[in-house]
Amino acid sequence: MLPFTLIAAAIALGGLMLPQLIGNPYYFYAGYGVLQYVVIATGWNILGGGAGYTNFGASAFFGGGAYMAALLFKAFDAPLFVQILGAAAAGMLLGVITGYLTLRIQGVYFAIATVALVVMLDTVVQNTEYLGGASGLAVLAAPAPAWFGGQTQYVFCIMLGLACGAVVLARWVEVSWVGRGLRAIKASEPAAEACGVPTLKLKLFACALSGGVMAAAGAPYPTYSAYLDPVSAFNLTIGLNALAMPLIGGTRSWIGPVIGAVLLASVQQIATVTISSEFNILVVGVVLIAFVVAAPEGLLGLVHRSKRKLQPEFGKIDAQTRS
């Protein structure tokens, strides 16, 4: 775990050099979008892949985080770091409440709750004048530190840091006792309980982590776009991508959401110029269903399966390194 963390930290710090090396802000603008989804997909997968609970309302957490950040800025002139922490806290709370209300019953109701959550938050924001209501809020953030050369470069580096942090967190969950407990719950909740796993508490913990990470992804958004409205905050595409990226990449490991996010977000960045956003959703939806039906383990699973076919021993070695 330590070498992994150090590498991630190195990448985050190394990213700070980029604004000095690359002149064109467009790369940072596009890169931000991709990194944002790395965080969202990674956060989603902590609960989705880790414990097997489907969250259809990632946009509620993302948008909630964005609005919390905007609120903290508008009310207290809070700096970006504080906004991120506040958003994460709000996301954790939202996750725990949703989980507490539904996970003691059945996973299906959690999924339905997350859909309702998006509608509810959207309605609340639309009815709150202080947050801009339906017409939205203009955000005049403090100018970025000089080193970065611009707001876009600045939030890009912040988002890179968040992405590295999210991935470290996801990996830690995966290899630690937390991940083992979650996988045990996913396999058989009664058996896990009989092994001393506090199933409800652990599930709520995963809800908190997942919600917090997804909300943190939304926190820099108001600074990035200088404008926030319910349509962009609670956008359909976010919820769909949060689901599609881990499922297409592979839910078994932290790498899957990263692969899925980089792939899908990059394609969508290119495609949005040429095709309409509705068509984009249509294509993602079809690809998602295709993967769920034909390749439920995602791209990682496909790679794994072909490795297994070539080298039967590989399966055992692979399992060993994961232990």
Least distance in angstroms from the C-beta of 108 to another protein? 5
- Residue 69 has which token pair? 């950040």
Least distance in angstroms from the C-beta of 190 to another protein? 7
When the beta carbons of 8 and 243 are compared against another protein, the nearer one is 243
- Contacts by 283-286 with C-beta closer than 8 Å and gap 24+? 284/237, 284/240, 284/241, 284/244, 285/240, 285/244
Rounded Cα distance between 144 and 152, Å, is: 9
Least distance in angstroms from the C-beta of 283 to another protein? 9
DSSP string, 241-283: HHHHHHHHH-SSSTHHHHHHHHHHHHHHHHHHHHS-HHHHHHH
Helix axes 25-51, 255-274, angle to 10 degrees: 130
Interaction of residue 74 with another protein, rule CB under 8 A: no
Least distance in angstroms from the C-beta of 164 to another protein? 24
Rounded Cα distance between 225 and 306, Å, is: 43
Interaction of residue 188 with another protein, rule CB under 8 A: yes
Least distance in angstroms from the C-beta of 147 to another protein? 41
Which H or E run contains 228? strand 227-228
Interaction of residue 1 with another protein, rule CB under 8 A: no
When the beta carbons of 74 and 186 are compared against another protein, the nearer one is 186
Interaction of residue 199 with another protein, rule CB under 8 A: yes
The count of chain residues that interact with another protein, using the rule CB under 8 A, is 63
Q: Are 216 and 91 in contact (CB under 8 A)?
A: yes
Rounded Cα distance between 167 and 4, Å, is: 10
When the beta carbons of 79 and 315 are compared against another protein, the nearer one is 315
Amino acid at 157: C
Q: What is the DSSP letter of 55?
A: -
Interaction of residue 275 with another protein, rule CB under 8 A: no
When the beta carbons of 35 and 240 are compared against another protein, the nearer one is 240
Interaction of residue 13 with another protein, rule CB under 8 A: no
Among residues 21, 146, 293, 310, the one that binds another protein under rule CB under 8 A: 293
Least distance in angstroms from the C-beta of 118 to another protein? 8
Rounded Cα distance between 120 and 15, Å, is: 37
Residue 24 main-chain phi, psi, to 5 deg = -75, 115
- Looking up tokens 């590989």, which residue turns up? 314
CB proximity list for 253: less than 8 A, separation 6 or greater? 49, 174, 300
Among residues 21, 196, 306, 310, the one that binds another protein under rule CB under 8 A: 196
Least distance in angstroms from the C-beta of 106 to another protein? 8
- Contacts by 100-108 with C-beta closer than 8 Å and gap 24+? 100/204, 103/53, 103/200, 103/203, 103/204, 103/207, 104/200, 107/52, 107/53, 107/54
Sketch the per residue contact string, 32 through 61, with another protein: x for CB under 8 A, - otherwise. ----------------x---xxx-x-----
Among residues 16, 22, 96, 115, the one that binds another protein under rule CB under 8 A: 115
Interaction of residue 96 with another protein, rule CB under 8 A: no
Rounded Cα distance between 254 and 8, Å, is: 13
R_g of the chain computed on alpha carbons: 19
Sketch the per residue contact string, 143 through 182, with another protein: x for CB under 8 A, - otherwise. ----------------------------------x--xx-
The residue ranges that bind another protein (CB under 8 A) are 48, 52-54, 56, 101-102, 105, 107-109, 111-113, 115-116, 118-120, 123-124, 126-127, 177, 180-181, 183-184, 186-188, 190-199, 236, 240, 243, 247, 251, 276, 278-279, 281-282, 285-286, 288-289, 292-293, 296, 316, 319-320, 322-323
